[in-house]
Amino acid sequence: MAALRLRQYDPRDCDAVWQLHERAMRAVGTDPSDIPGTDDLRTIGSTYLDGGGDFLVGVCEDELALEAGTASPPETFDGTLVAMGGFLPSEAGHDDERTVAGAAELHRMRVAPDFQGRGYGRQLLGALERRAAAAGFKVALATTARRQKRAQEFYAAAGYRAVDRSTFGEYELVHFEKRLRNQD
């Protein structure tokens, strides 16, 4: 398995992030152009990094990543982009998600389809949770479409509990929540 290196988003990652978003959404049967509010992926610096949150990318060395998958994942300046995700203060989140004071809301959690099931999502989620806790957030929120069963199982296995359901446009959503531990 190719080693995953997590780092904070860099503006040079912009195109690769967008490509990973599109590929991951198509792989679960969702047309990326139908997803509302994806402008944040074009403004990660101002939306996440300047907005009180964070955004991480997971990069593998090119030759190792290409051996692991069948489809060529997007390339960024320092390797192959196989995972990404971020968080924002809940109050700054999207209209389709819950607002909980003192909570970090996870967004755009994606792992390249050929790289799923290798633990990269767990590594990314753990890093985001640690960063959110270090930034003073007490709770992490996650929302996924009801039809994305693997995402629901992923959050449940990571200790998140389903706390609500809602509908936004054509999407039936499941809302998850987890209390964060301070890593002092």
What CATH number has the domain bearing residue 143?
3.40.630.30
In a domain, 174, yes or no: yes
Question: Is residue 106, in this structure, part of any structural domain at all?
Answer: yes
Q: What is the pLDDT of residue 33?
A: 86
pLDDT, residue 34, reads: 83
- Residue 90: inside a domain, yes or no? yes
Which residue type occupies 18? W
Cα separation, 87 vs 148, in Å, equals 20
Q: pLDDT tens track of the chain, all 184 residues?
A: 678 999 999 999 999 999 999 999 999 888 888 887 889 999 999 999 999 999 999 999 754 445 555 567 899 999 999 999 999 998 765 555 667 888 999 999 999 999 999 999 999 999 999 999 999 999 999 999 898 999 999 999 999 999 999 988 788 999 999 999 875 5
Residue 60's φ and ψ, nearest 5 degrees, are -115, 155
In a domain, 184, yes or no: no
Residues 6+ apart with CB under 8 A from 72: 66
Please state the domain count of the chain: 1
Determine, yes or no, domain membership for 142.
yes
Question: Taking the model in full, what pTM does it have?
Answer: 0.91
State which residues form the domain around 15. Answer: 5-179
101 part of a folded domain: yes
Q: What does the pLDDT read at residue 71? A: 64
Q: What is the 3-state secondary structure (H, E, C) of 81-147?
A: EEEEEEEEEHHHCCCCCCCCCCEEEEEEEEECHHHCCCCHHHHHHHHHHHHHHHCCCCEEEEEEECC
In this predicted structure, what is the pLDDT of residue 67? Answer: 53
Residue 35 has a pLDDT of 83
Is residue 102 included in any domain, yes or no?
A: yes
Residue 162 lies in a domain: yes
pLDDT of residue 158: 97
